Amino acid sequence: MSNVPSPAPLNASALTPEGMLSGMRANIRSRKVFDGLFGVVAILALLVSILALVGLFVNLALQGSERIRPEFFLSFPSRNPFEAGILSAWVGSLVVMFVTALVGIPLGIAAGLYLEEYAPKNTVTNFIEINIMNLAGVPSIVYGLMALGLFVYKFQFGQSVLSAGLTLALLTLPIVITATREAIRTIPNAMREAAYALGATRWEVTSHHVLPYSMGGILTGTVIALSRAIGETAPLITIGALTFIAFLPTPPVSTEAPYLSFQWIWDAFTVLPIQMFNWVSRPQEEFQKNAAAAGVILMFMTLAMNGVAIWLRARYRSRVKW
Amino acid sequence: MTTRFTSGALLALVPAATLFASLGFSLQASANNLVKVDGSSTVFPVTEAVAEEFQKAKKGAIKVTVGISGTGGGFKKFCRGETDVQNASRPILAEEMDTCAKAGVEYVELPVAFDALTVIVSPKNTWLKSITVAELKKIWEPAAQGKVMKWKDVNPAWPDEPLKLYGPGSDSGTFDYFTEAITGKSKASRGDFTASEDDNVLVQGVSNDKNALGYFGFAYYDPNRSKLRALPIDGGEKAPKKGVAIAPSKESVMDGTYYPLARPIFIYISKKALEKPEVKEFSDFYVNNAGRLAADVKYVALPASAYSAGLDRVAKKQVGTAFGGHNEVGLNADQLMKRTLSLKYAEKK
């Protein structure tokens, strides 16, 4: 390694064995340099995205830190930035997500199961599959427009928790379906064949084997779909949810008969991203701090949901042993 | 493989089914004690403040929602009977009166405060102490597009520097009023300026550029006084005080000398909704507290006499508009309340 490699490999010395050897060494060295360089470029690319995220988070946290205290979570929005809080917004986000999960998850999983386990392989199925792929790429505001026409006006649901939950459920459906199908595809066919050989019906194969084995993957995809939905603003503004709300939805249980109430799904609502949007467009500088603080909370909620996804995946993975 | 599949999707199906079953019979359930307000983003801060105080006073017994969908978008909902109260930064227009009439929606018109459209420049601008309406017209009229590109094109005494303009987008009531007041025709404006529906963008754009000029509501100027300078306006021949440039302020708006850029903002209450006790209570609370709360959010309160006249209108359910379906420029509060109300539109004066 001590001698200097000749820069041009095709001179007279290249014909001698020593010359050939040093030519090869130079070749290897230059390829290694390139290899190292690419590693550096890849790390830089990674750093750009991580630093952007960290920078954003730190910036929001610094700006909003003085607002994040217990009262911020326990008070309603107000014209006074120091009193304004996110009570109706975070409760609204949770309630809307509940409806979204309740509708989106069963529908998505059932649809995914059908496509993987039940559907015959023909042109109709192909057509449906392609359309689901396309649905995943439809901009969210288009879902909002459709929801405005369908849920708000046609079905007369109004600007309610129900309209919002259904809108976001539609938005998450393609993601849940795709995640379900991908999780199901990882199950070896031998498992199914073994079950069939023992006389199991298709539903028994699906419910005893396919679903439990793929549950980790399905739930991961589902939670990620929900954590995307929780940050959605455009489709909700389209259905008319850009609203000042200083009250909570009706509680689902009461001390008086009939004890159980579904009034809350008809109630008006606001969610965290909409509250942020409202604060950002205020003239007073102080409201920017509220918006930043709400942003930190929203990011925490999203991160927590992704954390749950990771935990669920690990839990289901350790349970399935074959 | 030992575990059977019992949890997850199957369990989730049960509440989903319950939810859907419950839809069937609770579809009729209507929200009780709810007042729905929607409309202009300019009026929003006032109504929001009223709604906040009202709900505090009622301890949550009556709920109020205040939406933002613009004056035009709000009137569409209002005339379909979807909302009880409409926020409007301009009077109801002829075609909206038609829609409301067809749907059988009658309304009580209430001016609730004044807003001063404010013409602003950067504090770094050294040559402008005030501006006349004629100069503003020269800058903003449609014919100026592509021609009036430098400050000296407006007034030879001004520097040979590029003229950079900022204003609200064409969907806003602010744009409608400014164009009407300055160029004489609603929505008649040059198109080559930086337009934004977000007034904070305008604040940022103008504050750092000595060659910039823009306009928006006083509520956005007030918290940004350190970054912006408001220009006194010389209203020209029709102004109450001729030949004097008047700065926007509570006093100049109140006495009508800030001409022609002071404008009233309104709420419209549906007559049918007014029969509901919660809407009546909200309306009374609104008129009784609008003066104090409007000042709180940097709008200019009407004189007390206008509010008592408003209370009277609500009590007697006097329907109709005082504007005959047009926007009007430069009215003061007394003129506003003394006019006769009508559900029919009139020729433009």
Q: What is the pLDDT of residues A237-293, one digit of tens each?
A: 988 888 899 888 888 877 776 777 888 889 899 999 999 999 988 888 889 999 999
Average pLDDT over residues B315-338: 81
* A91 within domain boundaries: yes
List phi, psi (to 5°) of B134.
-60, -40
B189: Cα within 13 Å, side-chain hemisphere: 25
Report the residue of A173, A262, A280 to disrupt the B interface, i.e. the one with the largest count of B CBs within 10 Å.
A262
- Record the tokens describing residue A46, joined without a space: 């990674």
The yes-or-no verdict on residue B336 having pLDDT over 90 is no
Instruction: Place A6 in a pLDDT band, splitting at 50, 70 and 90.
Output: low
Among residues A64, A79, A97, the one where a domain terminates is: A64
> DSSP string spanning A23-81?
HHHHHHHHHHHHHHHHHHHHHHHHHHHHHHHHHHHHHHHHHHGGG-SHHHHHS---SST
Q: B260 near B329, Cβ under 8 Å?
A: yes
Name the residue type at position B199.
D
Residues A54 and A90 in one domain: no
**A250: DSSP letter:** P
Tell me how far apart the alpha carbons of residues A313 and B4 are, in angstroms, rounded to a whole number. Answer: 18
Q: Cβ–Cβ contacts within 10 Å for residue A158, how many?
A: 19
Determine whether the interchain pair B26/A263 forms a contact, defined as Cβ–Cβ distance below 8 Å.
yes
Residues A278 and A138 in one domain: yes
| ∠ CA A95-A99-A103, rounded to 5° | 165
Give B36's contacts in chain A (Cβ within 8 Å): 268
Query: Which runs of E-coded beta strand occur in chain B?
Result: 34-39, 63-67, 85-88, 107-121, 131-132, 164-167, 194-195, 212-217, 229-230, 233-234, 245-246, 262-270
Residues A138 and A248 in one domain: yes
* A240 within domain boundaries: yes
For B56-61, the CB contacts below 8 A with 24+ separation are B57/B285, B58/B281, B60/A247, B61/B33
Residues A174 and A248 in one domain: yes
Instruction: Check residue B10 and give its pLDDT.
Output: 45
Tell me how far apart the alpha carbons of residues A76 and A86 are, in angstroms, rounded to a whole number. Answer: 6
* A57 within domain boundaries: yes
B:275-334 residues touching chain A, CB 8 A cutoff: 296-298
Rounded to a whole number of angstroms, the distance from the CA of A268 to the nearest CA of chain B is 8
* A3 within domain boundaries: no
Domain of residue A127, CATH code: 1.10.3720.10
pLDDT digits (tens, 9 = 90+) for B9-41: 444 444 554 554 444 444 434 457 899 999 988
* A4 within domain boundaries: no
Give A285's contacts in chain B (Cβ within 8 Å): 223
Residues A311 and A174 in one domain: yes
Across chain B, what does the average pLDDT equal? Answer: 85
Interface contact B66, partner A, CB < 8 A: yes
pLDDT digits (tens, 9 = 90+) for B228-238: 999 999 988 88
Determine whether the interchain pair A244/B19 forms a contact, defined as Cβ–Cβ distance below 8 Å.
no
ω into B156 cis (within 30 of 0): no
Tell me how far apart the alpha carbons of residues B112 and B37 are, in angstroms, rounded to a whole number. Answer: 15
Q: Which of A159, A247, A263 sits opposite B55 (nearest CB)?
A: A247
* A310 within domain boundaries: yes
The yes-or-no verdict on residue B49 having pLDDT over 90 is yes
Whole-number Cα distances in Å, A88 to A19, A98, A282, B61: 78, 15, 19, 16
Rounded to a whole number of angstroms, the distance from the CA of A277 to the nearest CA of chain B is 11
Report the residue of B2, B34, B65 to disrupt the A interface, i.e. the one with the largest count of A CBs within 10 Å.
B65
Average pLDDT over residues B181-186: 89
Residues A112 and A172 in one domain: yes
Q: B341 near B320, Cβ under 8 Å?
A: yes
Nearest-CA neighbor of B40 among B70, B75, B5?
B70
List phi, psi (to 5°) of A303.
-65, -40
ω into A258 cis (within 30 of 0): yes
Tell me how far apart the alpha carbons of residues A102 and B18 are, in angstroms, rounded to a whole number. Answer: 10
For residue A245, what is the enclosing H or E element? strand A243-245
Helix axes of A211-229 and A286-319: crossing angle, nearest 10 degrees: 180
Strands B63-67 and B34-39: parallel
Q: B39 near B87, Cβ under 8 Å?
A: yes
**A260: DSSP letter:** B
- The per-residue b/e assignment along B294-312, b for 16 or more CB within 10 angstroms, e otherwise, is bebbbbbbbeeebbebbee
Number of structural domains in chain A:
2
CB-count exposure of residue B210 (10 Å: 0-12, 13-18, 19+): middle
- Domain holding A32, by residue range, is 12-64
* A238 within domain boundaries: yes
Instruction: Check residue B331 and give its pLDDT.
Output: 77
The yes-or-no verdict on residue A321 having pLDDT over 70 is no
Name the residue type at position A320.
V
Instruction: Check residue B315 and give its pLDDT.
Output: 92
How many percent of chain A have pLDDT more than 70?
94
Across chain A, what does the average pLDDT equal? Answer: 88
pLDDT digits (tens, 9 = 90+) for A29-42: 999 999 999 999 99
Q: A297 near A86, Cβ under 8 Å?
A: yes
pLDDT digits (tens, 9 = 90+) for B91-144: 898 889 999 999 999 999 999 999 999 999 999 999 999 999 999 999 999 999
> Which range is least confidently modeled, B68-72, B149-153, B211-215, B264-268?
B68-72
How many percent of chain B have pLDDT more than 90?
56
Q: B336 near B306, Cβ under 8 Å?
A: yes
The yes-or-no verdict on residue A9 having pLDDT over 70 is no
Tell me how far apart the alpha carbons of residues B170 and B115 are, in angstroms, rounded to a whole number. Answer: 18
Rounded to two decimals, the pTM is 0.81
Instruction: Place A113 in a pLDDT band, splitting at 50, 70 and 90.
Output: very high
B195: Cα within 13 Å, side-chain hemisphere: 13
Q: B64 near B311, Cβ under 8 Å?
A: no
Among residues A64, A83, A107, the one where a domain terminates is: A64
Residues A156 and A278 in one domain: yes
Give A75's contacts in chain B (Cβ within 8 Å): none
Instruction: Check residue A317 and give its pLDDT.
Output: 78
Residues A48 and A154 in one domain: no
Name the residue type at position B308.
S
ipTM: 0.78
Tell me how far apart the alpha carbons of residues B45 and B235 are, in angstroms, rounded to a whole number. Answer: 28
- Record the tokens describing residue B63, joined without a space: 């709920």
The yes-or-no verdict on residue B283 having pLDDT over 90 is yes
Residues A32 and A116 in one domain: no
Residues A106 and A40 in one domain: no
**Residue owning tokens 């007394």:** B334
Determine whether the interchain pair A263/B34 forms a contact, defined as Cβ–Cβ distance below 8 Å.
no
Residues A26 and A95 in one domain: no
* A7 within domain boundaries: no
Nearest-CA neighbor of B228 among B242, B216, B237, B246?
B216
Instruction: Check residue A11 and give its pLDDT.
Output: 57
- Record the tokens describing residue B222, joined without a space: 């007030």
Instruction: Check residue A10 and give its pLDDT.
Output: 55
Among residues A49, A64, A79, the one where a domain terminates is: A64
Task: Indicate the SS3 state at residue B86.
Answer: strand
Residues A51 and A76 in one domain: no
pLDDT digits (tens, 9 = 90+) for A120-131: 888 999 999 899
pLDDT digits (tens, 9 = 90+) for B207-227: 989 999 999 989 889 888 999
**A116: DSSP letter:** I
Interface contact B25, partner A, CB < 8 A: no
Determine whether the interchain pair A247/B222 forms a contact, defined as Cβ–Cβ distance below 8 Å.
no
Instruction: Place A316 in a pLDDT band, splitting at 50, 70 and 90.
Output: confident
pLDDT digits (tens, 9 = 90+) for A151-161: 998 998 988 99
Compare all CA atoms of chain A with the CA of B60 and give the residue at the minimum distance.
A247
The yes-or-no verdict on residue B8 having pLDDT over 70 is no
Rounded to a whole number of angstroms, the distance from the CA of A163 to the nearest CA of chain B is 12
| ∠ CA B216-B218-B222, rounded to 5° | 120
